[in-house]
Amino acid sequence: MIRALFFDLDGTLLSSGKKLLPSTVSALQSCRERGVRVYLATARSPRLDRTLGWTEAEFALFDGGLYCNGACIVHGTEQRYLYIDPDAARACIRQVARHPGIQMSLHMEGDLHAFNHHLPDHMLGPWGVTRGDILPLDEHALRHAVKILIYTDCLVGSTRPLPQELFPALQVSCGDGANLYLTDGGCTIQVASREASKHLAIEGVGRQLGLRPEEIAVFGDDLNDVEMLSHCPNSVAMGNAHPEVKAIAAHVTLSCDDDGVAHALKNILHLI
């Protein structure tokens, strides 16, 4: 019997309009009423109130969250961070500097940020930051980075792919110092601690709850979800998922815009 659910956000729980569908909300509530624990497993930071406009009503749907690709774990009263190796962060800066116009952010504990570019005023809201949340890109930022994003056009809404040679160059430069994910159709590179991943964070929460792997189900759509889906016998890829994600998942549901989460919980996993 499945006793815990872990959901990616963008392209999974959220529709393409970045909203929770009414069918999704109802399905999550039904699962929790049946004693199933519900968690987020996202690359986003915990400040979903700022970035998505969530209120207590949305947060109350979940028992906790694995944020920043597992580098920030919020479970009960616990909030734990895993930092990227500073040498790997420096390698990212060096490689990005070779490509004029490529942008980068370092996300730190407490939702502080450092950027290699000026963030325009109109992008503060979409990023969920104020000017006071932005720190210099200095040694302190390098030693306290929880997540690094590499992108173009201030990230939000960008559809311009990164240079194809950048990702393999970063893999070589970072070596074993970080986990790297090429996501959003080649438009974004996400960097996390070598000890951080959605899969490892889910394993840790599962141990705390005394759960066996078969008592956990995971949902995802992009390449940073491959590891967690490949290690879970009850894995569900969204209908809009990357082909590689669909190929390794145990199940494929409808898209995030077509009640895919509710469909899987009812007709595939039979939880509601």
Residue range 184-206, pLDDT digits in tens: 999 999 999 999 999 999 999 99
For the residues 154-163, what does the mean pLDDT come to? 93
pLDDT at 237: 98
Mean pLDDT of the chain: 96
Residues 221, 241: Cα–Cα separation, whole Å: 4
pTM of the model: 0.86
CA angle (92 as vertex; 127, 243 as ends), nearest 5? 70
pLDDT at 254 over 90: yes
Best CA proximity match to 148, nearest among 94, 98, 99, 83? 83
- The first and second tokens of residue 14, run together, are 């959220």
Tell me the C-alpha distance between 256 and 246, whole Å.
14
Q: Which two tokens stand for residue 9?
A: 């956000």
Mean pLDDT of 127-138: 96
Confidence at residue 236, expressed as pLDDT on a 0 to 100 scale: 98
Neighbours of 9 (CB within 10 A): 23
φ, ψ (nearest 5 deg) of residue 107? -105, 125
**DSSP character for 161?**
P
Whether the pLDDT of residue 76 is over 80: the answer is: no
pLDDT of amino acid 235: 98
Q: What is the pLDDT of residue 147?
A: 96
Confidence band (pLDDT; 50, 70, 90) for 23? very high
Residue 75 pLDDT: 84
Calculate mean pLDDT across residues 60-82: 91
